[in-house]
Amino acid sequence: MELLSKERKSDLSQWISTLPHEIIQENPWLLLYQSIVQPYSLGTEMVRSLEKAYELFKQKEEIRGILLSVARLIVVSIHTGIHQFPLFS
């Protein structure tokens, strides 16, 4: 979050891109950060990643992560026009 607040998306993006895919897929925070640094043209992929992040946060009962992933899903849905309802159960 500190890198994002300092407008260092490209640094965060480079760091995440060096990680193995499996590690990213198992970590809800990495999924969330990855969705923030990706271009909106990857809309469907972003939505899937955010939904997975949401589910992982929900399993861990991490309220902050749940709220951030829902907020990001709303932003991505608005910017891409991709709406996969119902978003949550």
CA 41 from centre of chain? 14
pLDDT value for 74: 87
> What's this model's pTM, rounded to 2 decimal places?
0.77
CA 39 from centre of chain? 12
Of the listed ranges 33-37, 38-42, 54-58, the one predicted with least confidence: 38-42
The residues near 52 (Cβ < 8 Å, ≥ 6 apart) are 25, 28, 31
pLDDT tens for 65-84 read: 999 999 988 888 887 777 66
Q: What is the mean pLDDT of residues 44-50?
A: 84
Q: Is pLDDT at 87 greater than 70 in this prediction?
A: no
